[in-house]
């Protein structure tokens, strides 16, 4: 089975711009979660989508949004980028809900740099 | 609110020696506990999980973890460390069924295995 794929792998943007990141989960997985990883804050949960519905949301401002399509692929959007948004954004898929006993399978991440 | 603590930012061990990476948790109800490993420039990889039953859980690459309910701990162990085990290790907790609890990750422990 192919693993979780994320595109693009690297992205450089300037403050005020917006960005869209894409994630394709493992075939058959219905849950897609997004995380922000930074050296200072560690791994922070952004949101989870399950069968096209947002199931859980972390403590991030409304500039961070996402969606999931019928084929389980997911996109994450960040509007009005700030310098502090520079991070590795990880996508993870799981067979069932991430807030349960299901292990997650992570993609390689998208490294976002905001200048 | 649930939380995970990894009290050591870094663990150093000589190749061939046993290793332990510590994790304690706080959650209401029965926890689901996970260990993940992250190699440089990669996403996280699932190592093992505890759901219920036997307190000693065996996982990938010779790793195991012991669930201790009274001490609320889930330490990761390996009898004989390899240089290739050097990586960043994350402990995570999720809640048993009921409620919409997001998976919570510790801040990570850098394991360095010296030749």
CB contact under 8 A, A98 and B44: no
DSSP character at residue A84: G
pLDDT for the residue numbered B96: 57
Measure the CA–CA gap between B23 and B37, rounded to whole angstroms.
14
What does the pLDDT look like over B7-29, one tens digit per residue? 999 999 999 999 999 999 998 88
Q: Measured between beta carbons, which residues in chain A are less than 8 angstroms from residue B108?
A: 42-43
Q: Measured between beta carbons, which residues in chain B are less than 8 angstroms from residue A48?
A: 102
pLDDT for the residue numbered A108: 95
Closest CB to B103: pick one of A45, A90, A109: A45
What does the pLDDT look like over B60-113, one tens digit per residue? 999 999 999 999 999 999 999 999 999 999 999 987 555 566 789 999 999 999
Is the pLDDT at A1 greater than 80? The verdict is: no
Residue of B nearest to A6 (CA): B43
Give the closest residue to A88 by CA, choosing from A4, A3, A8.
Answer: A8
For the purposes of burial, counting CB atoms within 10 Å of the CB of B10, is it exposed (0-12), middle (13-18) or buried (19 or more)? exposed
For A54, the token pair is 């947002």
Q: In whole angstroms, how large is the CA radius of gyration of chain A?
A: 13
Residue of B nearest to A103 (CA): B46
What does the pLDDT look like over A64-84, one tens digit per residue? 999 999 999 999 999 999 999
Q: Which residue has the tokens 């019928």?
A: A70
What does the pLDDT look like over A91-115, one tens digit per residue? 999 988 877 788 999 999 999 999 9
Average pLDDT value for residue range A36-53 = 92
Give percent of chain A above pLDDT 70: 99
CB contact under 8 A, A90 and B43: yes
Collapsed DSSP state (helix, strand, coil) of residue A40: coil
Average pLDDT value for residue range B1-12 = 93
Residues 6+ apart with CB under 8 A from A1: A26, A27
pLDDT for the residue numbered A62: 95
């Amino acid at each position: 089975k192919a693993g979780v794929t994320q595109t693009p792998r690297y992205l450089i943007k300037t403050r005020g711009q917006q960005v869209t990141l894409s994630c394709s989960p493992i075939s058959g997985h219905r849950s897609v979660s997004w995380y922000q990883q930074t050296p200072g804050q560690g791994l922070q949960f952004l949101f989870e989508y399950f069968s096209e519905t947002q199931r859980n949301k972390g403590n991030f401002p409304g500039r961070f949004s996402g969606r999931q399509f019928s084929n389980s692929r997911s996109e994450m959007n960040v509007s009005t980028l700030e310098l502090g948004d520079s991070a590795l954004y990880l996508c993870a898929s799981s067979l069932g809900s991430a807030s349960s006993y299901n292990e997650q399978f992570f993609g390689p991440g998208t490294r976002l740099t905001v200048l | 609110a649930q939380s995970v603590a990894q009290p050591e930012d870094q663990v150093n061990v000589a190749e061939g020696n046993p290793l332990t990476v510590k994790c304690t948790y706080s959650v209401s109800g029965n926890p689901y506990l996970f260990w993940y490993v992250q190699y440089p420039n990669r996403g996280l990889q699932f190592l093992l999980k505890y759901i219920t039953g036997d307190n000693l859980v065996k996982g990938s690459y010779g790793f195991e973890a012991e669930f201790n309910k009274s001490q609320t701990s889930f330490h990761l162990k390996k009898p004989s460390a390899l240089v290739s085990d050097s990586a960043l290790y994350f402990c995570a907790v999720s809640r048993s069924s009921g409620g919409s609890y997001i998976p919570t990750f510790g801040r990570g422990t850098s394991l360095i295995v010296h030749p």
